[in-house]
Amino acid sequence: MDPMSRRLLRELKEYRTGQTDSQVADLAPTSDDDLQRWKAVILGQEGTPYEGGKFDLEITVPRTYPMQPPTIRFLGKVCHPNVHFKTGEICLDLLKTTWSPAWTLHSACIAIGALLMSPEADSPLNCDAANLLRCGDVRGYNSLVRMYTQLYGVPSGASGTATQSVH
């Protein structure tokens, strides 16, 4: 078994046995035959405009992992200054220049969840969302994020979380 596969199987085992955080709801390979393709689900945190949302991530692991970072993108539409609204691309240093083999797929997903709560308006992929924050319109930004979370981030059948009003 190659080093990448051994590492990924260890990460999967550690995630399944130690999974206690409330932010990453799922992390697994998409099939037993391909350890280079994973899926993850990040939950919107309580008290944020993403609250009640479930956000799917697609993870592609390079053969050079863990020396090189995985490619991670949102599968659905996410309104956030550092997420491209159409492609799901994520602007996060950890996924580009500051990656270290000490990071895991799980810790990268946690970092993406933290990015949802702490947007960086200075390196936007979504200029509309970033401009609201740059202009100090936090209320407008939160309202826009809540609306898109309800439209695209809430699983069907979750009527209890989708009924929040947009202010």
Name the catalytic one among 79, 91, 109, 127.
Answer: 91
Beta strands in 45-145, from DSSP E residues, in sequence order: 54-60, 71-74
- Sequence spans of domains, the chain: 3-160
Closest CA to 43 of 55, 26, 61: 55
**Distance between alpha carbon 47 and the CA centroid of its chain, in Å?**
17
Q: What digits encode the pLDDT tens for the residues 7-46?
A: 999 999 999 998 666 789 999 999 989 999 999 999 999 9
Q: Are 82 and 67 in contact (CB under 8 A)?
A: no
CATH architecture of 3-160: Roll (3.10)
pTM: 0.88
Q: What is the pLDDT along the chain (167 residues), one digit of tens a residue?
A: 899 999 999 999 999 998 666 789 999 999 989 999 999 999 999 999 999 999 999 999 999 999 999 999 999 999 999 999 999 999 999 999 999 999 999 999 999 999 999 999 998 999 999 999 999 999 999 999 999 999 999 765 444 333 333 33
Amino acid at 145: V
Q: Are 74 and 55 in contact (CB under 8 A)?
A: yes
Q: Tokens standing for 110? A: 């946690």
What are the residues whose beta carbons fall under 8 Å from the beta carbon of 47, sequence distance 6 or more?
none
109 included as an active-site residue: no
